[in-house]
Amino acid sequence: MRILVVEDDTNLNRQLTDALKEAGYVVDQAFDGEEGHYLGDTEPYDAIVLDIGLPQMDGITVVEKWRASGKSMPVLILTARDRWSDKVAGIDAGADDYVTKPFHVEEILARVRALIRRAAGHASSEITCGPVRLDTKSSKATVNGTTLKLTSHEFRLLSYLMHHMGEVVSRTELVEHMYDQDFDRDSNTIEVFVGRLRKKLGVDLIETIRGLGYRMQAPADAK
C-alpha cells in the first residue's frame, strides 16, 4: 500500500513517514501544497495524509482540485485549527476524515487503515480469503492459523491483492502501489514476489490472468 504525506513541518512529516513505513506502507513525501497536489494528481496512492495549513497552496484547495479532476483516493486531513468550520470545510471539499493536532501517531495509523479498508469495501480489520487471514491492525497474515513469515515486499503484495480480492490487478498497478516514484518500474520483481508468495501460502489462491495481471480469490467451495 502506498501513502502520500503532505506536511510542511519537517519533523512531523518525518515522524509520520517513519511510522507509516514501520507499519509496512510505502511512503512519498511532499512539503507544500503545490508539490502535494502534483504528486496526488500524477501518482496512484491508496491514501493521503494532508495538512490544511500548507504553503504555496492550502490543503482545502488541494483536495478540491483533486476531486474536481476525478481523483477518488481517501484523504485524511490534519489541522491545528480548533474551529469546527475548518473541519467542515475540509470534509465538504472532499476529504474523508480529519485529525486535529496534536495527535497520537497511532490514531493516524488506525484512521489510515480504516480509510484504505473502506475504500476497498472491507468493514472489518481482518480480511479473509479461503484459509488466508490478513490482520490489517497487526500487519500479520496467517494460513489455517499459522503465521506466515513474509518479507516487507511480500506482505505489501499480499495485502494489496487481498484488499482487492476478486479483481484483476495488473503488474503495473502492483508496482505503482508497492514502490515509491523512484523505483525502476521496468524490472520483473513483481513476478518474482508472486512466485515466492505462492510458495509461502501453499494454497492456490493467486491466479495469473494472461496478458492482464493477477487475481486473488478463494475457491468456490471456500466462499
In contact, 46 and 40? CB cutoff 8 Å: no
Burial class (CB in 10 A: 0-12, 13-18, 19+), 125: middle
| Cβ contact 35:54 at 8 Å | no
- Residue 134: in which H helix or E strand, if any? strand 132-135
Q: What is the pLDDT of residue 218?
A: 83
**Is 126-222 in CATH node 2.40.50.140?**
no
Coil, strand or helix at 43: coil
Q: What is the pLDDT along the chain (223 residues), one digit of tens a residue?
A: 999 999 999 999 999 999 999 998 999 999 999 999 999 999 999 999 999 999 999 999 999 999 999 999 999 999 887 777 888 999 999 999 999 998 999 999 999 999 999 998 888 889 999 999 999 988 899 999 999 999 988 999 999 999 999 999 999 899 889 887 666 655 578 899 999 999 999 989 999 999 999 999 987 655 4
**Residue corresponding to grid cell 510505502:** 26
- pTM here is 0.86
According to the model, what pLDDT value does residue 84 have?
Answer: 79
Name 151's Cβ contacts closer than 8 Å, sequence gap at least 6: 196
Per-residue confidence (pLDDT) for residue 187, from 0 to 100: 58
Q: Where are the domains of the chain?
A: 2-119, 126-222
What is the grid cell recorded at 6?
A: 503532505
Residue written as grid cell 491483492: 161
Give the pLDDT of residue 220.
66
Q: Which set of grid coordinates corresponds to residue 55?
A: 504553503
- The CATH code for residues 2-119 is 3.40.50.2300
Instruction: Give the pLDDT confidence score for residue 25 in this predicted structure.
Output: 93
CB burial of residue 95 (10 Å; 0-12, 13-18, 19+): buried
One-character DSSP codes across 107-120: HHHHHHHHHHHHHT
